[in-house]
Amino acid sequence: MPRFFVVIVLMGLGGLYILGNAAYLMFAESEYWTQVSRKLVRENVPIPAKRGNILSADGQIMASSLPEYKIYMDYIAYDKDPEVKQELQAWRDSMLEVKMDSICSGLHKIFPDKSAGYFKKRLQRGRKLKRRNWQIYDRRISYIQYKECKKLPLFRESPFKGGFYAEEFNQRKKPYGSLATRTLGALYASKDSARYGLELSYDSILRGTPGTSHRAKVRNKWLNLVDAPPVDGYDIETTIDVSMQDAAEKAILKQLKNLDGDVGVVVLMEVATGDVKAIVNMTKCADGEYREVKNNAVSDLMEPGSTFKTASIMVALEDGKITKDDFVDTGNGQWEMHGRVMRDHNWRRGGYGRISVPEVLMYSSNVGVSRLIDDNYKEHPEKFVDGLYREGVGIPLNLPLVGSGEPRVRRPKPDGSNWSKTALPWMSIGYETQIPPIATLTFYNAIANGGKMVKPRFVRAVRRNGEVVREFPVEVLKEQICSPKTLKDIQEILELVVSKGLGKKAGCRNFKVSGKTGTAQVAQGAKGYHGGRMKYLISFCGYYPSDHPKYSCIVAIQKSGLPASGGGHCGPVFSEIAQRVMAKGVYRDVSEASDSMSVFVPDVLDGNMDATEQVLEELGIPFRQDWDTEEDGKIVWGKAENSGNSVALISNNTPMEIVPDVKGMGAKDAVFLLESRGLRVRIEGVGRVVSQSLPPHSKYKKGQTIHIKLRR
């Protein structure tokens, strides 16, 4: 029994010792171990995956994720041993005191917008308040700036010793600025969460799969151990063409400013595939500037106006109610329709009188269209609406963009409760229906595409490391919207609209254009069509070249007050875009302009001469260089001179402490060369660099911003 008693006493003392230590850890050292648990002992720590890029049709990056940082200072040192903690705190305070001027001067060089005095006051205030997470700079910084900060005294130490640490973010960057920004989409600034556009629609593809890790102590050192590595997101290849997008944006912006318009929309589509090559949505903001605020092209449900007349005439032609050779009396431009007066745009000048069916669309006669439709369908309006759906007007497009609107083409109920006698004539000229601009374009694109209606396509493929892992094929909505005879008649009429009708300003000198003008009053909410200053939706929708259509396009502008003309105001925008797009696509066979003894030497950009040398060798183009090819490990930068039969590659490696001359380079080489020196680059335009804000061979400060302009 005494032996058992001794064992029980020893076990009791051991238990008390354990409880005492536990209590000591819980209370006496709770603050220390709480900090350790927060900073060191973490399980299932998520490792964010890199978000995939959004690429243009030709592989250029339109949206990409780059790391950004917020920098902080922790003024309170920690250690289990109170004496070590006190020594570490004293060392950190003394280093901060001694190196304060050096640190602040260095921060000013990295961030020139803040003075050294500002940083000194900032750091001293955080020290006085004894903060553990005191933000040093009020903005996010780039990776290059963060690395420069880590070179400063005290900041170069580990976070637990020096107190300097950073919080990392993945920031979405768009090299082409606001170009197609509403369609591309955006992320919330504070987290990797998509807000709208393709970023949201394809979020599951772009996001990737985050990994997990935990901290463990190995050989008396804390290490981050990866449990499951992150899987980076896939890239998506869009159908957007950067140069076409740029051309469309500049053309509509110029006209919006001339007209003082409220909203401007352009959608450019490839006829055969439905690929959206350009999409512009500009809204006038409170400060008078135009920005992409909303994707009006796919979301706005508005009465399309006269562009709808083509669909109405097509229904009547297809049903055999009229022929292209028929005539209709429009009188003096006014015609009473079931108690309401229908007017043509020229009714004050006496109207058009008796005109043919083609002339009805050429001159966009409201009276002509409404009479043709009302006379033939007033007893059975549902047959007219059935015809609209038969030719694809009103069917849902199911676009891969959150918030996209679907056409609303009203059907009459059997009891007629939702229908009036005036509904049919006004519907026939584009009222009492709501159709987004891209749906109107889809219909006209089908006319250009031989009657086949294809779904607008925004994303062509999903890529991983440059390889296609998934393709999005062309999706056919309707194999044929009408008979070949009706289609031929409509195509001939739409060509006449531009060559002889109200759409003349949409025409181009070097190729034929087909299309239809549109002008509609916009209802002012509860005030209807007559509240306040009148608003109009003017548009032109068509395709080109008429003989072998390659592109279709719609231009739509919302504006207040007269004059308001779809042909006069939107036609010139259409023409400018068409000519620039067709000029971009002109490719000639080199053999036509050379004989068997000639050597074709392409235009060569300045920049990375090593890469240029490889390309020229692969193409078999003669060149000469002024550097030793055996030298390895260093990129050769320089300029390329075309001598007619060969290319001269001239090296020009600029010292790191001065600004290089990047004029003549492409954006990729110019940005790499400048950012490698710690400069922040702002790009404007596309093509090759034509000017730079910091003169070549001048001194610079790291973190300084340089603006470069590019031009084709």
Distance CA 486, CA 446 (A): 13
Q: Is the predicted pLDDT of residue 136 greater than 60, yes or no?
A: yes
Predicted local distance difference test score (pLDDT) of residue 597: 47
Task: Specify the CATH superfamily of domain 45-238.
Answer: Penicillin-binding protein 2a (Domain 2) (3.90.1310.10)
Q: Are 370 and 421 in contact (CB under 8 A)?
A: no
Q: Which of 193-197, 201-205, 555-559 has the lowest mean pLDDT?
A: 193-197
Predicted local distance difference test score (pLDDT) of residue 102: 92
Amino acid at 262: D
Q: Is the predicted pLDDT of residue 591 greater than 60, yes or no?
A: no
Q: Is the predicted pLDDT of residue 328 greater than 70, yes or no?
A: yes
Predicted local distance difference test score (pLDDT) of residue 625: 79
Neighbours of 560 (CB within 10 A): 15
Q: Which of 119-133, 499-513, 676-690 has the lowest mean pLDDT?
A: 676-690
Give the confidence band of 394 by pLDDT, cuts at 50, 70, 90: confident
Predicted local distance difference test score (pLDDT) of residue 499: 94
Distance CA 608, CA 651 (A): 9
Distance CA 219, CA 196 (A): 48
Residues 236, 404, 314: CA angle, nearest 5 degrees: 110
Topology of domain 604-711 in CATH is: Trypsin Inhibitor V; Chain A (3.30.10)
Strand ranges in 535-671 using DSSP code E only, listed in sequence order: 535-544, 551-560, 607-608, 623-625, 637-642, 647-651
Which residues are CB-neighbours of 575 under 8 A, at least 6 positions away? 505, 506, 507, 508, 513
Model confidence over 648-663: pLDDT tens digits? 888 877 888 888 888 8
Q: Is the predicted pLDDT of residue 537 greater than 50, yes or no?
A: yes
Distance CA 312, CA 359 (A): 14
Paired strand residues for 275: 457
Domain boundaries, the chain: 2-39, 45-238, 242-584, 604-711
Write down the mean pLDDT value for the chain.
Answer: 87
- List, as one string, the DSSP characters of 557-591: EEEESS---IIIIIHHHHHHHHHHHHHHT----GG
- Please state the φ and ψ torsions of residue 231, each to the nearest 5 degrees: -110, 110
Predicted local distance difference test score (pLDDT) of residue 217: 60
Topology of domain 242-584 in CATH is: Beta-lactamase (3.40.710)
- Between residues 446 and 528, the one the model is more confident about: 446
